[in-house]
Amino acid sequence: MGFKSTVWFQTFTHQHGLLADIIGQLEASGIELAALHMNDFPTGAGIIFLDQDSKLAEVQEAMDAFSFYSDTRIIAVSVGRLASTSTWALLRSGAAEVFAWFEVEKPVQIVASRLAYWAVLEEKVVDLQQRLVGRSKCWINTLRQLVDMSLSNCQVLIMGESGTGKELVAQEIHRLDPRPNKRDCVVVDCTNLIPGLSGSELFGHEKGAFTNAISTRDGALALAHEGTLFLDELGELPLPLQAELLRALQEGTYKRVGSNTWRQASFRLVSATNRDLAEEVRKGRFRQDLYYRISGWTCQLPPLRERKEDIVVLAEHFFRERHHIQQPVDRQVYDFLLLRDYPGNVRELQQLINRIANKHLGEGPITLGDIPRSDWPDFAGFGTNEGPGTPELEIGVTSLLYRGLGLKEIKDQVTEIAKKVAITHENGNLKLAAHRLGCSERILQMHRRSGEVVS
């Protein structure tokens, strides 16, 4: 079977006979199931059982609450006939990733194979997190997508702002690629291609093909044969070279500059860009046919501002792994890091950590005193009476005000967010979350219950 952990389930159906039947079948196939109770925190994979009479809004609300707190993955199994509009609604809302229908399909097979696949995938995701650091939900979803892509042998286009980790991701795609005896990953930065050399970097050249071509040389396509060709900043590839690359991808053949002989090259293409390639196509700066050819799978890397929860883990990683600093980092330093903007994304954070690590001396903790003066924040409105975090909070509250919320509603919303963040950061442990918030566990249990539907 390949799936060892217990799978939680929740029921939204009253068809008890059918339900018992299917649960029995799942358990007989080796899947260990446990019903989800009122205050349980769903982790890992889960199944929801429903039927045509289940109130879809209730089901969705419950699943939204689960996915709000955790990165659980859900399979929906309908024990009765469900209208296709309802199925679409479930899938589109993103609450359930897979749908199985008891009457017409073999849900046991569907569920079992999905669980087994997810188990393999999660193991790889955990391993990837050692190098592609981050624990936020959006980052974990990106890593899951990445593993999915890597296991199939297709072309991948990685998109994302500068410094989001595109090159690192490309290396990991190559590492996960299951081709037996795959060769190297060859990296070409398209911004460095010299137009006058007509693509010698990519295709190689013959001796005497141009001035300084003193000997015959292989290009990146030859070097990437049976491996991976990573074209970084693909949006910068000059149009004439785009045509030649397309040909090489379609036919698997190319010519060295100055040669009339067709050569074969077989490689997996992974490309990356921080441009909006679809827009470049519309503007006529990028070939549409090449765009379709390379974008079999696309992977959009989130900017750091969309995964601020990862700033602390990334900073810790850089201090510990790159600078071998094991001393504690003062909370105020993390506040400073969290408050700052990172237009250069992870690279900018990494460089900042380098500067702090270089300034730090001795065995003591890392404190605000280790932050170089050139990195000090703009003190207007910073660290005055309310402390770090205030400007961001102000932006959030302003948006709530403009949405017409009054003082009580704003207070309630901020309170809910604080509870959610604490629960998430403590991996669902209400006791620790309550300790962190300085409130009773009971308040958090009530909070959890308000987002749940009783089965």
Ligand X SMILES: Nc1ncnc2c1ncn2[C@@H]1O[C@H](COP(=O)(O)OP(=O)(O)OP(=O)(O)O)[C@@H](O)[C@H]1O
The residues binding ligand X (CB under 6 A) are 132-134, 160, 162-168, 274, 346-347, 350
Nearest C-alpha neighbor of 227 from the set 259, 200, 187, 193: 187
Q: How far is the CB of 350 from ligand X (least distance, A)?
A: 5
Query: What is the distance between the alpha carbons of residues 195 and 237, in angstroms, rounded to a whole number?
Result: 9
Q: Which is nearer to ligand X, 115 or 304 (CB)?
A: 304
Name the residue nearer to ligand X (CB basis): 2 or 343: 343
Looking at the Cβ atoms of 164 and 424, the one nearer to ligand X is 164
C-beta of 114: minimal distance to ligand X in Å? 27
Q: How far is the CB of 351 from ligand X (least distance, A)?
A: 9
Minimum distance between the CB of residue 316 and ligand X, rounded to whole angstroms? 11
Cα separation of 224 and 227, whole Å?
5
Q: Least distance from C-beta 10 to ligand X, angstroms?
A: 33
- Residue among 172 and 244 whose Cβ is closer to ligand X: 172
Taking the complex as a whole, how short is the minimal distance between the CB of residue 45 and ligand X, in angstroms? Answer: 25
Contacting residues for 274 by C-beta, under 8 A, at least 6 apart = 159, 160, 161, 162, 166, 233, 235
Whose Cβ is closer to ligand X: residue 222's or residue 272's? 272
* Cβ at position 133, least distance to ligand X in Å: 4
Least Å distance, CB 332 to ligand X, is 24
- Rounded to a whole number of angstroms, the distance between the first and last alpha carbons of the chain is 28
Nearer to ligand X, 176 or 414 (CB): 176
Residue whose CB is less far from ligand X, 50 or 170: 170
* 96 or 234: CB nearest ligand X: 234
